[in-house]
Amino acid sequence: MLKLLLAVDGSDPAIRATRKLIETADLFKDPVQVELVGVHLPIPKIGGLFNTVVNQQMVERYYRDEGAQMLAASEKLLSEAGVAHTSHILVGQIAETLVEHGDANGCRMIFMGTRGMSALSNMVMGSIATKVVHLAQVPVVLVR
């Protein structure tokens, strides 16, 4: 079994990366198992706001709901294509968290889009893709 990490955020480039992984899955010698990962930046803990106005359950629900949106389109495409996958919603610094998850789970390659959803994400995702390339010890496939 060949484990591949697919990093997604729900954006068009992430969906294109999902499609590219599906297109190439049959080219590998071994069957593919995809670690489908969406990473959310941690919510900053501002003064007395945390635990006064916003509790831990609200934050966890927010991560879960936002993460589900990040993963939904790619989960659907992978399921329809019959590609085995396990979905994960993680919280942390995006590039570092992706690479750590891939390393910890034996992923041999990382697929990801090169741009995020918003204008700010577009600027940030470009740097995230670059950072993943520099941090990863495995090949990284960037899809525009």
pLDDT in tens, 67-90: 999 999 999 999 999 999 999 999
Give the pLDDT band (50/70/90) at residue 45: confident
Residue, of 118 and 51, whose pLDDT is higher: 51
User: What is the longest distance spanned by two Cα atoms in the chain?
Assistant: 54
- The Cα angle at residue 11 between residues 90 and 19, in degrees rounded to 5: 95
CATH dotted code for 2-110+132-143: 3.40.50.620
Identify the pLDDT of residue 47.
65
**C-alpha to C-alpha distance for 38 and 116, rounded to whole angstroms:** 12
Of the ranges 20-29, 38-47, 112-121, which one carries the lowest mean pLDDT score? 112-121
CB 141 within 8 A of CB 17: yes
Residue, of 11 and 123, whose pLDDT is higher: 11
**C-alpha to C-alpha distance for 41 and 109, rounded to whole angstroms:** 23
**C-alpha to C-alpha distance for 102 and 118, rounded to whole angstroms:** 25
Q: What is the pLDDT of residues 106-130, one digit of tens each?
A: 999 999 998 754 455 545 555 899 9
Identify the pLDDT of residue 108.
98
How high is the mean pLDDT of the chain? 90
CB 126 within 8 A of CB 115: yes
Instruction: Report the percentage of the chain scoring pLDDT > 70.
Output: 88
Q: What is the pLDDT of residues 129-140, one digit of tens each?
A: 999 999 999 999
